Structure 1
């Protein structure tokens, strides 16, 4: 199972997390987030896909950041439209595109169909006060109604306490592509606890 560690912020911590070889590392460009990233990203293993996370940014801003930081993936965490995703694709950036949808107790999966031609993966996160990093899971039983074969990333409040629950859902036929982890592994916003990450990686990567 692939793992994305999101909300990276501090240079030394980025290097330490990179040493664990996550599949993706997410950098948030959203000034209202306590994990908003500024500055330079230290060099990490090229096999780790650096991911830019944006919330209703202009297409041009996303394109510029992809080129500046050599992102291999882009995560759209706002209310970006189908047309927005289509326009971003027109730049031929050679990136994977994730479109986030937030869920609490129910969700209308019919809204996803028009996005499918233009994105690589959906990402399902917890609907809460913040745009991500809310620290609790949504009702994963809602995903039993997922009508598509398009792979998706599972996010929202996943930590070591959820390991049993995570392993259980990974046994289903749902097309889960990766797990996205963030706030449950932090000592402060943007600063990841390496020992907790190691514990989670060891459990999940055994699969």
Structure 2
């Protein structure tokens, strides 16, 4: 396990939330280009969200079964460093855009993870999310983390699905992922109702503080 778990704040819809994530120390930011999602952004919105994101923070564009033209129109207008595919895209589709990409997998059994690492040789990592029929991601639900194989032969693992400040430390201890990805778990609530796409800076900071804490403990225990 690396001494440092990378972090991504996904589903951003506002520039101030992107900058709050940067200030808290996030490694990557995620923009959702999937219209059915409550966190979806237009190209114009996306460009505004990341306009002031500084160097060394990666901007990721998330798609679900897009056309080539849809992906290219985003790349032509928005600063995008990494592509993230959540649908039924194959290796050839994912690899054609001259951008590094990651492939999301909805985990039902351990063999899903191993098979996906083989099926997507060009992926820089595989993102593991919860399986829910008909929902390509963003369920806000965790999955059985014991299904994630512990093997040096796998691609880097990005853990997603239902993470929040209260469970991310346990998740890192159990899965030992390369990175963690959070969306709903750091969103604002109003009268007890989650405000999808609106982030809570306090929750972002709490989430990242937990990641730093467990990483520091890992580092200490190794020495």
With normalisation by structure 1, the TM-score equals 0.86
CA displacement 1:105-158 (0-9 Å, x = unmatched) = 554332431311x21111111112532221111111111266833112111101
Indicate conservation of the 8 Å contact 2:107/2:143, yes or no: yes
| Structure 2 SS opposite 1:144 | coil
Q: C-alpha distance in 2, partners of 1:169/1:184?
A: 19
Change in Cα spacing, 1:144 to 1:106, as seen in structure 2 (3 Å) is closer
Q: C-alpha distance in 2, partners of 1:166/1:46?
A: 29
Aligned equivalent of 1:144: 149
Q: C-alpha distance in 2, partners of 1:164/1:127?
A: 22
Aligned equivalent of 2:119: 114
Aligned equivalent of 1:10: 14
Q: C-alpha distance in 1, partners of 2:199/2:83?
A: 21
Aligned equivalent of 2:130: 126
Aligned equivalent of 1:185: 186
Which of 60, 66, 70 is matched with 2:69 structurally?
60
Aligned equivalent of 1:29: 33
Quick check: 1:197 aligned with 2:221?
no
Query: What is the CA distance between 1:45 and its match in structure 2?
Result: 1.5
Change in Cα spacing, 1:26 to 1:194, as seen in structure 2 (3 Å) is same
Alignment size in residue pairs: 197
* Structure 2: stretches of 5+ with no match in the other structure: 189-194, 216-223
Q: C-alpha distance in 2, partners of 1:15/1:145?
A: 34
Q: Give 1:86-105 correspondences, 5 Å limit.
A: 86-88=95-97, 92=98, 95-104=99-108
Q: C-alpha distance in 1, partners of 2:153/2:39?
A: 32
Indicate conservation of the 8 Å contact 1:21/1:48, yes or no: no
CA displacement 1:63-116 (0-9 Å, x = unmatched) = 23123111111100111012212333xxx3xx3311011014554332431311
| Structure 2 SS opposite 1:53 | strand
Q: C-alpha distance in 2, partners of 1:145/1:12?
A: 37
Aligned equivalent of 2:58: 49
Indicate conservation of the 8 Å contact 1:105/1:138, yes or no: no
RMSD over aligned CA atoms reads 2.0
Indicate conservation of the 8 Å contact 1:30/1:55, yes or no: yes
